[in-house]
A and B are shown apart, each in its own frame.
Chain A
Amino acid sequence: MEDHLDIFRQVLDRQVVDSNHFACGKVDDVEIEGGKTHRVVALLIGNGAASDRLPALPRAISRRLFGDRVVRVPWSDVDVITEEIKLRRSAIELGLDERTGFAHRLVSKLPRSWKK
């Protein structure tokens, strides 16, 4: 990894993928350590982090509707940064897999599309 990392341009709001290249959401916020050189300590993914970047009223509405869950991914779990941020572990391990949610349960019940 390079010496300098432009947090805004290369980390924040970037696509996160797991070790199997499965999409896990976006970097909604970053945890940084202060001092002379800011160091990224962790990535924060989830509406709890994203909604903090909204003005107060939309933030309150967003949290009410979509919750305030945040998943903290330590920087040590980051593998490579290209156009996407690839992690070392799988989405399931990190709690970022959408296949545990409501949408997945519903869609899985539908008759299989035979064209695959």
Chain B
Amino acid sequence: MKKILEIFLGILTAMGGFVEIGELVFSVNAGARFRYSLLWVVVLGTIGIITYGEMAGRIAAVTGQPVFAVIRERAGYAAGLGTLMAAMVLSVLTCAAEVGGIALLLKFLFGGNYFLLIVGTVVLFLLVVWFLSFQAIERVFGLLGLMMLVFAAAAVYVRPDWGEVASGLIPNIPPLDDSKEYLVYAYFAVGLMSSIMLPYETYFYAAGAIEDGWNPGDIRLNRVITIIGFGLGAILALSLLIIGAAFFNPLQIELSLPETAALAPALHFGKWGLILALLGMFFAFGGAAIENGLTGAYNLAHFFGWPWGKYRPPENASRFTLSWMVMFIVAAAIVMTGVDPVQVVEYSIIFSVVILPLSYFPILMAARDNDYMYPYANGWLADILGWSYLIVISVAALFAIPLLIMTHGGKG
């Protein structure tokens, strides 16, 4: 009975934590720009994060080793350190973007000065992470993030052409007027896939597995949570894209603010739909901010071998504790410069795909190592998917930055 509850909560938490500010904007705009034709990328990305999330979780359950310990062991100190620094920069930028997004949301909900709201948000997160246990944080933000399901409801009410939705789920390249638009399409494909497969998700998921005390007996739990949790989470991403296609595309609106997306639930459900959407975003972005702040600390501790974990009293993991505090403070400082959070996260997402192969390759090598993982090494399916996605993301990594430059950040 307790196990069933654990599975249920794990799935809901994974689902509620699926969307963050970058993914929201990319998904809606993919629909606004190209209607239903990028739906297949969401499916592709979801299978990818399930594949590598499952491997990272399994490695953690069997060996007790988190991702950056694996990266250091497999890639060595120098290459590992390079990957670590890149991952740290991306995590702090993503954290900054989420904090900025939350400050804006609070402005939309309650009003107030943006800069004071940033400070308030970061102080709130520092207190939440200090006082609450890992499980409590996960549950609160994951479950309340499920308010985002109002977008799934809106996606149905907006009456999309389900025939077109179906054809969008199959890999396709739509006929476009302008040859330049194909580059923008490619950019959105890369960005959308990357926003679903963000590296911090595997780092955090594996760290969480160790925080939750997983052992080899939890391998099935790991599989169920990744497949069903991330799978259901993809429904949110698909809903956002459908809303982009059915609601924003006819209006010729592309989002520059995530809050604009709330117009769709407001249309069908009035003020309550609006408020539910904004609150859902608050917990989704908040969860992502906390995950990225903690991931920075996890990565450092895992790479350098410091004592770590929210399950420890803070003074027994003092470097780890100081690290996540510094992450939040630096993130706040970045957003206080007035930089646009949406732009920051879009750049982070594109740069994330460049380091993705560096993170994923060691994970794949460790997961299929029979000496290391016996008897839980990769089966044939995990192997095929693992290799296939490594190729896919390596190709994406190659083209990501050229596409960013050529399409002026996806605008044209």
| Residue ranges of A at the interface with B (Cβ–Cβ < 8 Å) | 9, 13-16, 22-26, 28, 50, 53-55, 58, 83-84, 98-99, 101, 103-104, 106-108, 110, 113-116
Q: Is the interface of B mostly helix, strand, loop or mixed?
A: helix
A-B contact pairs, 28 of them (CB 8 A): A13-B77, A13-B80, A22-B316, A23-B305, A23-B308, A24-B305, A25-B305, A26-B303, A53-B76, A53-B78, A58-B81, A83-B64, A99-B315, A99-B316, A99-B318, A101-B318, A103-B321, A104-B315, A104-B318, A106-B318, A106-B322, A107-B315, A108-B318, A113-B130, A113-B131, A115-B132, A115-B136, A116-B313
Q: Is there contact, CB below 8 Å, between B322 and A107?
A: yes
Q: Does B65 contact A (CB under 8 A)?
A: yes
Give, as a whole number of angstroms, the nearest-CB distance from A9 to chain B. 8
Complex CA distance for A110 and B131, rounded to whole angstroms: 12
Q: Is there contact, CB below 8 Å, between B308 and A103?
A: no
Give, as a whole number of angstroms, the nearest-CB distance from A51 to chain B. 9
Closest residue of chain A to B136, judged by CB? A115
How many B residues, CB 8 Å from partner? 30
Given A25-B305, A53-B76, A98-B307; A113-B314 close (CB under 8 Å): yes
Q: Is there contact, CB below 8 Å, between A110 and B305?
A: no
Give, as a whole number of angstroms, the nearest-CB distance from A31 to chain B. 16
Give, as a whole number of angstroms, the nearest-CB distance from B356 to chain A. 22
Q: Does B223 contact A (CB under 8 A)?
A: no
Q: Which of B318-353 contact A (CB under 8 A)?
A: 318-319, 321-322
Q: Is there contact, CB below 8 Å, between A108 and B77?
A: no
Complex CA distance for A1 and B316, rounded to whole angstroms: 31
Residues of B with C-beta under 8 A to A99: 315-316, 318
Complex CA distance for A104 and B315, rounded to whole angstroms: 6
Residues of A with C-beta under 8 A to B252: none
Q: Is there contact, CB below 8 Å, between A54 and B78?
A: yes
Q: Does B58 contact A (CB under 8 A)?
A: no
Q: Is there contact, CB below 8 Å, between B314 and A107?
A: yes
Residues of B with C-beta under 8 A to A83: 63-65
Q: Is there contact, CB below 8 Å, between B306 and A23?
A: yes
Q: Does B6 contact A (CB under 8 A)?
A: no
Partner of B322, one of A14, A50, A103, A116: A103
Q: Is there contact, CB below 8 Å, between B319 and A114?
A: no
Partner of A103, one of B69, B133, B318: B318
Given A26-B304, A83-B64, A114-B131; A98-B76 close (CB under 8 Å): no
Closest residue of chain A to B323, judged by CB? A103
